[in-house]
Amino acid sequence: MTAHAVLAFDFGLKRIGIASGDTLTRTPAPRPAAICGPAGPDWDAIAREVRALAPGVLVVGAPYNVDGSEGTMSAAVRHFAAELERRFALPVQMVDERYSSLEGNEALKSRRASGARRRRVQRADIDSAAATVILGRWFAGENNQGMRCRK
């Protein structure tokens, strides 16, 4: 079986968490988060990650509410996912991101408490930890076909 790299994104209005993994080990790892400001995402930073890892697929966290309805960020996330697909000519798949930031934050706190992580947890770390949760869900087969990336 050939391993393919996968990049996952946790879209936010200030930062975009990024995680990578491959289809052989199926182990997600955080990457540096990209800034997202008034002018939009730092596409140069995202392009560097895409060039460096040459993924076969991109995964984006789809924001849903607790009741399963689309979250307030859904339109912005769909736009981001469609732009990823357009810019990099790669398939983009959506995965339910509910509670991914909370899970990522708890994992970081646990690593810090155990001594496995020494430096303080920053917001960008939490965003990329959330992206690792999203990628882990994708590896587990939790592809969400309900929310499409195209508008």
Amino acid, single-letter form, for residue 23: T
Summarised one tens digit per residue, pLDDT across range 123-136 is 777 788 889 989 99
131 domain residue, yes or no:
yes
Q: What's the total number of domains in the chain?
A: 1
Q: CB 151: neighbour CB atoms within 10 A?
A: 8
151 domain residue, yes or no:
no
149 domain residue, yes or no:
no
Which helix (DSSP H) or strand (DSSP E) does residue 72 occupy? none
Residue 103's pLDDT is: 72
The pairing of beta strand 57-62 with beta strand 143-144 = unpaired
Eight-state DSSP code of residue 147: S
Q: Phi/psi zone of residue 64: left (φ > 0), alpha (ψ -120 to 50 degrees), beta? A: beta
Summarised one tens digit per residue, pLDDT across range 61-119 is 998 888 888 888 899 999 999 999 999 999 999 998 877 777 776 776 677 666 665 66
Domain that holds residue 43: 5-144
Contact 121/128 with Cβ under 8 angstroms? Answer: no
Residue 148's pLDDT is: 44
Q: CB 134: neighbour CB atoms within 10 A?
A: 29
Residue 47's pLDDT is: 98
150 domain residue, yes or no:
no
68 domain residue, yes or no:
yes
Residue 2's pLDDT is: 74
Contact 61/8 with Cβ under 8 angstroms? Answer: yes
Residue 30's pLDDT is: 93
Contacts 24+ apart (CB under 8 A), 136-143: 136/28, 137/95, 137/96, 137/100, 138/6, 138/8, 138/59, 138/93, 138/95, 139/6, 139/21, 139/23, 139/26, 139/28, 142/95, 142/96, 143/93, 143/94, 143/95
Is the pLDDT at 139 greater than 60? The verdict is yes
Summarised one tens digit per residue, pLDDT across range 24-75 is 999 999 999 999 989 999 999 999 999 999 999 999 999 888 888 888 889 9
> Could you tell me which residue, 15 or 66, shows the higher pLDDT?
15
In terms of pTM, does the model score above 0.75? yes
34 domain residue, yes or no:
yes
CATH of the domain at 117: 3.30.420.140
